[in-house]
């Protein structure tokens, strides 16, 4: 996916990325045992205020469908198997009971799967958030920074920055990394200001582009954006891609996916990957507002590196 020989013009050097990591690091900020990271920006006030955004009584899913079909972006499809179907709806041991049941299985960290990354999902030079070694993620489950940090849900103000809409394009070109200045221009165009504790959803138009183009490129953000996220005290970053562009265009092998590394490992910023932001963008445009209550409820997977996710925006 990355190619060190063809660096992106916006690619940062190893020294620059190391300095940026130091700048945005939240290691120790909420104590040595903290596993919530930037979720700490969401306090009771933020939760309560977000609910006040609900007016029209509409709900919108930000999730793609469970990715059972193979494809270039889904080399390891999820399993969905019927265990009992309507052709034989019996349950051994329960006389007369007629049911259907099924089974799902998924390695959810794929490009076709809407999911959340726990803070143990990505390491920077062998360390994860709050200075724990990668080896704390055992073959038998993670011991630190698991998705259980979000077990009571992530609830707050959702903000959609619909970059193509603000820039007047169909989609962002994967060759160009969206900058903080462009996010700010989007804020201005849409009339919103990203702030403390926000669950920031950035739409780059991946799905519109995918329908139009044959290649597998996915637009992404300039790594310098994390400094802006840090300054604004954003609690979660979501996107229609994976924030880092594909292909990555990185120049330093120590920084293969800089936003993941700076965000998850440095800031303790939970990431929501591969969301479907098209329906959300339509509702925002229809209602003329880009803020809403957002509720994300990961499965409570002890030792887990994340979870499949269906975030719900409520207007």
Q: Looking at residues 230 to 259 of the shown chain, list those that interact with a copy of itself (rule: CB under 8 A).
A: 248, 252-257
Residue ranges in 6-45 that form contacts with a copy of itself under rule CB under 8 A: 43-45
Please tell me the distance from the alpha carbon of residue 202 to that of residue 222, in angstroms, as a whole number.
13
Residue ranges in 133-172 that form contacts with a copy of itself under rule CB under 8 A: 133-142, 151-153, 155
Fill in the per-residue mask, 188 to 227: x = in contact with a copy of itself (CB under 8 A), - = not in contact: ----------------------------------------
Number of CB atoms found within 10 A of residue 167's CB: 16
Stretch that binds a copy of itself, among 19-27, 55-63, 167-175, 186-194 (CB under 8 A): 55-63
| Least CB distance to a copy of itself at residue 78 (A) | 9
Please tell me the distance from the alpha carbon of residue 31 to that of residue 251, in angstroms, as a whole number.
33
Please tell me the distance from the alpha carbon of residue 266 to that of residue 43, in angstroms, as a whole number.
21
130 lies in the binding site for a copy of itself (CB under 8 A): no
Stretch that binds a copy of itself, among 29-37, 123-131, 159-167, 209-217 (CB under 8 A): 123-131
Among 15, 32, 94, 168, binds a copy of itself (CB under 8 A): 94
The rounded Cα 24 to chain-centroid distance in angstroms is 18
Helix (H, G, I), strand (E, B) or coil at 108: coil
Contact between 118 and 305 under an 8 Å Cβ cutoff? The reply is: yes
Helix (H, G, I), strand (E, B) or coil at 127: strand
Please tell me the distance from the alpha carbon of residue 294 to that of residue 198, in angstroms, as a whole number.
9
Nearer to a copy of itself, 188 or 302 (CB): 302
Nearer to a copy of itself, 22 or 152 (CB): 152
Nearer to a copy of itself, 152 or 286 (CB): 152
Written as six digits, the tokens of 114 are 């809407």
Nearer to a copy of itself, 164 or 298 (CB): 298
| Least CB distance to a copy of itself at residue 80 (A) | 6
Distances (CA, A) of 308 to 35, 190, 283: 19, 30, 23
107 lies in the binding site for a copy of itself (CB under 8 A): yes
The secondary structure of 236-266 as a DSSP string is EEEESSBSB-BS---S-GGGSSHHHIIIIII
Among 19, 104, 212, 287, binds a copy of itself (CB under 8 A): 104
């Amino acid at each position: 996916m990355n190619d060190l020989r063809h660096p992106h013009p916006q690619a940062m050097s190893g020294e620059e990325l190391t300095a940026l990591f130091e700048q945005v690091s939240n290691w120790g900020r909420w104590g040595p045992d903290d596993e919530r990271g930037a979720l700490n920006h969401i306090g009771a006030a933020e939760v309560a205020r977000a609910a006040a955004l609900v007016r029209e009584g509409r709900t919108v899913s930000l999730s793609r469908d469970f990715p059972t079909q193979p494809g270039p972006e889904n080399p390891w499809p999820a399993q969905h198997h019927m265990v009992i179907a309507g052709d034989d709806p019996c349950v051994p041991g329960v006389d007369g009971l007629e049911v259907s049941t099924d089974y799902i299985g998924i390695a959810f960290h794929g490009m076709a799967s809407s999911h959340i990354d726990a803070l143990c999902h990505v390491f920077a030079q062998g360390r994860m958030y709050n200075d724990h070694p990668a080896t704390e993620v055992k073959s038998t489950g993670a011991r630190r920074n698991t998705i259980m940090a979000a077990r009571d849900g992530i609830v707050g103000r959702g903000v959609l920055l619909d970059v193509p809409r603000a820039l007047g394009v169909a989609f962002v070109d994967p060759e160009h990394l969206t900058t903080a200045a462009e996010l700010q221009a989007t804020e201005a165009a849409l009339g919103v200001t990203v702030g403390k504790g926000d669950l920031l959803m950035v739409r780059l138009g991946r799905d519109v582009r995918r329908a139009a183009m044959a290649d597998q490129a996915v637009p992404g953000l300039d790594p310098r954006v994390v400094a802006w996220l840090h300054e604004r005290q954003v609690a979660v970053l979501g996107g229609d891609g994976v924030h880092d562009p594909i292909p990555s265009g990185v120049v330093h092998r120590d920084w293969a996916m800089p936003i993941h590394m700076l965000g998850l490992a440095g800031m303790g910023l939970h990431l929501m990957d591969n969301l479907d932001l098209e329906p959300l963008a339509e509702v925002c445009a229809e209602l003329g507002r880009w803020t809403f209550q957002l509720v994300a409820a990961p499965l409570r997977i002890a030792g887990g590196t994340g979870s499949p996710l269906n975030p719900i925006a409520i207007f």
